[in-house]
Amino acid sequence: ISTLIISFFKQGNIRDITDKLIAECRMRSQSEYKHKALSNDDITSIVLDIFGAGFDTVSKALSWSLMYLVSNPTIQQKIHAELDAVVGQNRLPKFSDRAQLPYMNAFILEMLRHSSFVPFTIPHSTTRDTNLYGFDIPKGRCVFINQWQVNHDPDLWRDPFIFRPERFITTCGKIDRNLSDKVILFGMGQRKCIGETIGRLEIFLFLAYYSRNWISVSADVTVDILQYTINNEHRRCDHFKVCARV
Interface positions with ligand HEM (CB under 6 A): 49-50, 53-54, 57-58, 61, 118, 121-122, 185-187, 191-195, 198-199
Report how far residue 242's alpha carbon sits from residue 209's, in angstroms, rounded to the nearest whole number: 14
Smallest distance from ligand HEM to CB 63, Å = 11
Residue 85 or 198: the one with the smaller Cβ distance to ligand HEM is 198
Would you say 137 or 217 has its CB closer to ligand HEM?
A: 137
d(CA 103, CA 105): 5
Q: Which of 4/142 has CB closer to ligand HEM?
A: 142
> For residue 141, how many other CB atoms are within 10 A of its CB?
12
Q: How far is the CB of 209 from ligand HEM (least distance, A)?
A: 17
Q: How far is the CB of 172 from ligand HEM (least distance, A)?
A: 28
Choose between 50 and 179: whose C-beta lies nearer to ligand HEM: 50
Nearest distance in Å: CB 69, ligand HEM:
17
CB of 185 to ligand HEM, least distance (A): 4
Is 193 annotated to bind ligand?
Answer: yes
Chain-centroid distance of CA 190 in Å reads 18
Nearer to ligand HEM, 80 or 182 (CB): 182
Q: Which is nearer to ligand HEM, 112 or 169 (CB)?
A: 112
CB of 51 to ligand HEM, least distance (A): 8
Nearest residue to ligand HEM on Cβ basis:
195
Q: Is 209 exposed, middle or buried (0-12, 13-18, 19+ CB in 10 A)?
A: middle
- Bind-site residues for heme: 193
- Bind-site residues: 193
